[in-house]
Structure 1
Amino acid sequence: MDTKRSGMLAQRNRTAGLRAAGLVCAVAVAGALITGCGDDKSSGGDGSSSPSASGGGKSAAATASPGGKLTEDQAERKALIPKAKITYDKALSAATGAVSGAKPVSAELKNGTGNKPVWETTVAKTDGTKSMVTVDAVSGKAAKPRTDSDEDADDKKKLADWLKKATVTPQQAAEVATGKKKGTVSSIELDDNDQGKAIWSVDVVTENDWNKTTYDIDATNKKVLRTHVDKD
């Protein structure tokens, strides 16, 4: 009887031991699973590294343009405009003075020979005959006028019509433009728009960002017909 009871006790002890060992294994497995889950989260769940861990976020930032960096056109304006000592209106005055009976048509500030600033101007007589005059943007001296050999009869007629309609002077148009945007006039031109209206197209460059704003101004009443900001 005692032997039987001792056998039963031994069997119970072995069962309890196996249960305890099972619990220890279960706890170990659970811990491994938790650790595994943590690894999955840091790697993106598919074995690959997450953007934050691999530097993927850095590649996106690297493609963004650095703040405050000038575009090529802006850099050209910044290098050119401060060199010019002669304004557009004085350049046009010198150009019309070089061609008897001519009226101003256009003036554009450009880099000349040796990167010296010049005003490339166009003037015309009342019949529409054009002449181009290069004016030194530092001294104000006008070069010898050049006749536009490409101008045909239709071109002359069109320009003569614009000159007749344009009761607004280039100076008045520039005043309207710079009244809207403080800056330097880098170009002004008598033209027509899509509606066939005679206009003065005026470019104003702002020196805080070197952007260019173009104003199309009605050459008969000084009304602003169009505004375009060029940030390139």
Structure 2
Amino acid sequence: MCAVALAGGFLAGCGGDDSGGGGSSASPSASAPSQSAGGGESSGASSGGMTEDQRSRKALVPEAKISYDQALKAATGAVSGSKGVSVELKRGSGGKPEWVTEVAGEDGKAGTVRVDAVSGKAGAPEAKKNDDDDMRELADRLKRATVTPQQAAATATGRKSGTVTAVELDTNDQKKEIWSVDVVTKNDWNKTTFDVDAASRKILREHVDRD
């Protein structure tokens, strides 16, 4: 695998494989998601009365064979010295499911790594436009976020059992660092977003998206 050094730029030193210069040595087994639907959830909810978003989740979520934390591990493994900033399950090019992750170094230099949600293979890291102010702000937020994305997700799924489809480091209206965690429940395909304090792991807000 080509683990890109942040100081050397996100694309330096990687091969030309269009499907993933990051390689897959950091990618976990595709058959054993560590964050999946919680105990005994059925995948019911007939599609007749479902919204477009619910139908989209019902089609996409079961296609992902690796979990958000496995995707983060693959992404940070592809960029040396990086930490996870965000991860989200999306429909990629060609209709394939992928985890779109953002990772950053201690200096706040950020980039995007796309991880195949079936194979767990990390694609070539893509550099983001990083100005000095943005880098300093992100570096400070990462330092203040003593809670990991995995801990925040565990807090959210402890409140509501389901599949984690997104985790993002953010700042709320009170200027507190939070991890925003999306949890999809397979019995109704609703999405619940939890704002988890990035220092205390306390749930500050919970919102159910039934649209």
TM-score between both structures, scaled by the size of structure 1: 0.70
- Which of 58, 73, 77 is the matching residue for 1:78? 58
Shift of 1:114: 1.8
Q: CA deviation at 1:67?
A: 9.9
Show the 5 A alignment for 1:173-212: 173-212=152-191
Secondary structure of 1:199's counterpart equals strand
Instruction: Report SS of the residue matched to 1:93.
Output: helix
CA distance, structure 1, for counterparts of residue 160 and residue 135 of structure 2 = 33
Which has more strand, going by share of residues?
A: 2
Q: Which runs of 5+ in 2 are unaligned?
A: 1-45
Q: CA deviation digits over 1:119-170, x for unaligned, max 9?
A: 0000000110001000000000000001102x32111111111100011011
Are residue 214 (structure 1) and residue 193 (structure 2) matched? yes
CA distance in 1, matches of 2:54, 2:137: 34
Q: Which residue of 1 aligns with 2:24?
A: none
Where do 1:156-167 residues align within 5 Å?
156-167=135-146
The equivalences for 1:29-48 within 5 A come to none
1:102 matched to 2:75:
no
Say whether 1:230 aligns with 2:185. no
Gaps of 5+ in 1: 1-65
Letter in 2 for 1:94: A
- Residue equivalent to 1:47: none
2:147 corresponds to 1:168: yes
- Report the equivalent of 2:97: 117
Alpha-carbon distance in 1 for matches of 2:108, 2:202: 25
Aligned length: 166
| Percentage of identical aligned residues | 64
Matches within 5 A, 1:45-64: none
Letter in 2 for 1:170: P
State the match for 1:140 in structure 2: 120
Q: Which structure has more helix as a fraction of its residues?
A: 1
Q: CA RMSD of the aligned region, Å? A: 1.3
> Is the Cα–Cα contact under 8 Å of residues 47 and 55 in structure 2 kept in the other structure?
no
**Larger RCO (CA under 8 A, 6+ residues apart):** 2
Q: Distance in 2 between matches of 1:96 and 1:112?
A: 20
Task: Spell out, residue by residue over 1:51-92, the C-alpha distance to the aligned partner (whole angstroms, 9 max, x if none).
Answer: xxxxxxxxxxxxxxx996110000000000000001000000
Against the structure 1 CA distance between its residues 215 and 112, is the aligned structure 2 distance closer, same or farther, given a 3 Å change threshold?
same
**Structure 1 residues 88, 67: closer, same or farther in 2, change over 3 A?**
closer
